[in-house]
Structure 1
């Protein structure tokens, strides 16, 4: 059984084309800006769902996907439930559904490896390149995330590099340039996405009686986003602001 938090039909932000987005329960990171704090707990208010139910939903929406679309697993952190997802991914492959995994890359085991092998595309969220700042932002190291990226490159698995631009936390010229230098020769990175920092999930913290620790952080200005784009474009051809 798979613990599903929620679904989004006709999604256009999490992978190519039009997609069914499945938000899964449970996460190993504790990002200060998390927009889905209700998905962090391993159980939460999720619903136990069979792989067959998700396959049925994906197949029923297949006419809307077109040539590029498909299903994206987000969260939470999908690899948190890798063992349960492997049989589902196999069924989706048999049904001809394009599979994306939106991941922080911070979990690694045999099930995660098989999951990435079955996926068509990985959306890899690199929260910060400087490990100390990464730990301040997520309470976790970025060491495994970088190892995951290296595995994707080595095994010829296409991925998108995603970076949330948080003023004062992940918006540092030297860190973005260090990230660019590290990844600039990767052949499997299809595109780089800058994700603007937003506060759309703040109401969830209030509902859960949790403190939102970045309440003094302002959302990106157009000038900041353009500055970040130029920094990334020193190293990558395809840089988008999502």
Structure 2
């Protein structure tokens, strides 16, 4: 089986083998990987090649208590390839598996794919449909539906929420995400991610205007206030 893969490498907390797949249906205003939007901009590779590369690090990753993550782009744009990677990383290599997704294409994830997924890193970019549409160019409903499906399956979820001043930081918006996440019952952690400008060079290199060029990064106080809203709902926010 073949697909388009952007890159692989060992990274992240606990040391994880991360595979980045090209292609994404969202156009997030703060995207730091706009070079992953189009599948054809990736490098064609096979699941065999990815598994062989991951296998070089298996002992090191296992000793560090890490695992393997399939990310993007949006990995569920290539659900068959993603499913094969997760299955083989879990059953052939014995690694803890994670799927990093916006959830917008969650309906494409088969039950088998999700059975091979130990953890879903789910980006919930806003609780407000209008704000979500402004941020991504897409509706929020598919992501929320996927979150509810994961809750029904009992799949562990880490919610990721990007705090952007003037865009997603309204207390009512943050509280809405917190209330929704708390009601699922399977969210073990919330990562409140401060907006940053590290992707601006990529936007420029692609000849694209940077939509949030004048948006400031949030202060430590603003980040702490957002985390407090999640904690108030009984969630662990980091």
TM over 0.5: yes
Paired with 1:35 and 1:110, the residues of 2 have a C-alpha distance of 24
Return 5+ residue gaps in structure 2 as ranges: none
Paired with 2:131 and 2:224, the residues of 1 have a C-alpha distance of 22
Give, in angstroms, the shift of residue 112 of structure 1.
4.3
Answer whether contact 2:156 2:188 (CA < 8 A) is retained: yes
CA RMSD of superposed structures (Å): 1.4
CA offset digits 1:76-101 (Å, max 9, x no partner): 00101112222232222222121111
2:50 to 48, 54, 59: 54
User: What residue is the counterpart of 1:37 in the other structure?
Assistant: 34
User: What residue is the counterpart of 2:156 in the other structure?
Assistant: 158
Answer whether contact 1:129 1:176 (CA < 8 A) is retained: yes
Of stretches 81-90 and 196-205 in structure 1, the one that deviates more from structure 2 is 81-90
Give, in angstroms, the shift of residue 67 of structure 1.
5.6
Answer whether contact 2:124 2:177 (CA < 8 A) is retained: no
Secondary structure of the 1:239 match is coil
Q: 1:113 to 1:168 in 2, by over 3 A?
A: farther
Paired with 2:108 and 2:222, the residues of 1 have a C-alpha distance of 40
Give, in angstroms, the shift of residue 2 of structure 1.
2.3
Of stretches 110-119 and 200-209 in structure 1, the one that deviates more from structure 2 is 110-119
Return 5+ residue gaps in structure 1 as ranges: none
Paired with 1:227 and 1:109, the residues of 2 have a C-alpha distance of 33
User: What residue is the counterpart of 1:237 in the other structure?
Assistant: 235
Q: 1:32 to 1:151 in 2, by over 3 A?
A: same
Aligned length: 235
User: What residue is the counterpart of 2:210 in the other structure?
Assistant: 212
Paired with 2:157 and 2:65, the residues of 1 have a C-alpha distance of 15
Q: What TM-score do the two structures reach when normalised by structure 2?
A: 0.94
Secondary structure of the 2:70 match is strand
Give, in angstroms, the shift of residue 111 of structure 1.
4.2
Paired with 2:56 and 2:189, the residues of 1 have a C-alpha distance of 29
Paired with 2:138 and 2:7, the residues of 1 have a C-alpha distance of 25
Answer whether contact 1:180 1:236 (CA < 8 A) is retained: no
Give, in angstroms, the shift of residue 113 of structure 1.
4.0
Of stretches 211-220 and 114-123 in structure 1, the one that deviates more from structure 2 is 114-123
User: What residue is the counterpart of 2:84 in the other structure?
Assistant: 87
Which residues of 2 match residues 60-75 of structure 1 at below 5 A?
60-65=56-61, 66=63, 68-75=65-72
Secondary structure of the 1:185 match is helix
Of stretches 60-69 and 145-154 in structure 1, the one that deviates more from structure 2 is 60-69
Answer whether contact 1:58 1:97 (CA < 8 A) is retained: no
Which residues of 2 match residues 95-106 of structure 1 at below 5 A?
95=92, 96-106=94-104
